[in-house]
Amino acid sequence: MSGNETEMRVVTTTDGLSLAVAVTGPADAPTLVCIHGYPDNRSVWDGITRELSDRYRVVRYDVRGAGDSEAPSSRSGYSNDQLAADLDAVIGAVSP
């Protein structure tokens, strides 16, 4: 994948939700994972992605309940432990 192409993926979380993940940059480059806050989505990282995707593999994902990712059915689905497990799932899916 060249620096300008974005590959869209879906990563399944430990509790079965689907997270929308965008990967841009060379597959053999060092990987950067960008996480946004609420109420944003992965597009907050578009400018950084344009600047860095020729040298890095830039991974951006919509956290649960944001953008193109699914939302849990209750507030308990937003626990810090679950958010950390989501990050771990994304890293596992995009790591070379």
Domains and CATH numbers, the chain: 6-94 (3.40.50.1820)
For the chain, report the end-to-end CA distance as a whole number of angstroms. 13
pLDDT value of position 45:
97
Distance CA 39, CA 77 (A): 16
- For the stretch 50-94, pLDDT in tens is 999 999 999 999 999 999 999 999 999 999 999 999 999 999 999
- Reference 63, options 86, 45, 32; nearest CA is 86
- For the stretch 2-52, pLDDT in tens is 557 899 999 999 999 999 999 999 999 999 999 999 889 999 999 999 999
- Reference 34, options 26, 85, 44; nearest CA is 44
Distance CA 63, CA 78 (A): 10
- Cβ pair 42, 67 in contact under 8 A: yes
Distance CA 71, CA 13 (A): 11
Distance CA 28, CA 79 (A): 33
